[in-house]
Amino acid sequence: MDKDSLKRLAFLYFEGKSDRSSEKELYDRISTSEQARAEYDALEEEWKAGNIPTVAQRQSFEAMTGRIVARRRMRILRICLSSAAAAIAVLLVVTGIRSGGDTGSRQLYLTTVSTGYGEKTRLILPDSTEVWLHAATTLTYSDSFNREDRKVSLSGEAFFDVTHDEDLPFIVELGGSSITVKGTRFDVAAYSSEEDITAALLEGSIIFRSENAIVDLHPGEVLTYDLKDESILRSQADVDSYAAWINGKLDYPEVTLDKLLDRLSSIYGVDFVYFPEKYREKKFRIILNGDESLSDLLEAISFVAPMEYEMKDGKIYIKER
C-alpha cells in the first residue's frame, strides 16, 4: 500500500465514511507495519489539526448520515505481556503514545478498545466482525484472535454482527460466564455496576454458559442472568429495541424505574439516590433520544414515569410522585 492509499483509507476512517472492508484493510496495514503505523499517527495529527468538530456539529452530522462519527475518546492499547520478564510495554496506537523495549521471547499482545461515559463507537475486528460499543464499555482481545481463536472479553454493552467461521467459534467472555456463536447478530449488556447480564438475539443462535447452566438462545429471545442467585430467565421480546442504541435511541419496552436508573448510571457515570416504594415493581415503556443530555433525558422520563429529580452535590436525587 503506497502513502496516498494509506492517507485515503485513514481519512475515510477519521471521517466515519469507511466501510467494513476498507477498515479491515487499514487495520491490517497499521497492525503489521511499524512504518505504516507511524504514518497513520502523523495522518491522524494532520486530520485533527484541521477538524475539531463541536458537539452540535457532531450531532448534526450524525442525524444527517445516521452513523456515529464523532471523534471518540477511544483508547486502543496494545499491551505486551511476557512470561520471561516482568516488564510490560504499553503502546497506545491511536494516540501515538509508545513504550518499547525487549520483553523476552514469549509475548502476548492485547488490544483494548474503550469508550467513555456518554460515548459509543463502531469498530471492525480482524475477522471482519462488526462491533458497536455502548458507553463506558471495554472490549479486549489478543493477537491470537482470528488465528488460534476468536475470543473477546467484554465489560459493558456491545452489539455484535459476527462473521461466520465454522472452525473458529466466536466467544464473548463476561467474567464468570460466556457467549459462544459462529455467525450471528446479538446485543449483550454486562456492566460491572449492574446485578445481571442481558443478551438479546436478533439473528442466528448463541450459547450462554455460566458455572451452573448452558442455555441455547434463538432469534427473538432475551436471556437475563441474575449474578446474585445465578438464576436464568429466557423470554420472547422485541429484540430490536435492545439494539436501538446504535441508532441513537434508548428503547426499553418494559423496565422498572430502578433498573432504568441503574442503566443510566452505567452509561453516564452518575450516582442516583433512589429508594423505590410505590412503583418498585411497576414497569414502563421508555423511548429516549440517546444523543440528548442527561438532564433532557430525565425531563423526558418524568413525563412518562411518576418521578421528580434534583441534582445536588454531584448526585441526582429521585423522588416518586
Which tens digit of pLDDT belongs to each residue from 214-255? 999 999 999 999 999 999 999 999 999 999 999 888 888 888
Q: Is the pLDDT of residue 75 over 70?
A: no
C-alpha cell at 20: 467494513
Of the candidates 68, 70, 45, the one whose C-alpha atom is nearest the C-alpha of residue 130 is 68
Neighbour-count burial of 302, counting CB atoms closer than 10 A to its CB (0-12 exposed, 13-18 middle, 19+ buried): middle
> Ramachandran region of residue 128, left (φ > 0), alpha (ψ -120 to 50) or beta?
left
If you average pLDDT over each of 33-37, 44-48, 137-141, 258-262, which comes out highest? Answer: 137-141
Which pLDDT score, from 0 to 100, does residue 20 have? 66
Of the candidates 265, 246, 258, the one whose C-alpha atom is nearest the C-alpha of residue 314 is 265
The single-letter DSSP state of residue 142 is: E
Question: What are the phi and psi torsion angles at 159 (to 5°)?
Answer: -110, 130
Per-residue pLDDT tens digits for 23-52? 778 777 876 777 888 888 888 777 766 664
pTM of the predicted model as reported, rounded to 2 decimal places: 0.69
Neighbour-count burial of 50, counting CB atoms closer than 10 A to its CB (0-12 exposed, 13-18 middle, 19+ buried): exposed
If you average pLDDT over each of 7-21, 32-46, 91-105, 261-275, which comes out highest? Answer: 261-275
Which pLDDT score, from 0 to 100, does residue 1 have? 57
C-alpha cell at 74: 477511544
Of the candidates 140, 146, 178, the one whose C-alpha atom is nearest the C-alpha of residue 162 is 146
Percent of the chain topping pLDDT 90: 34
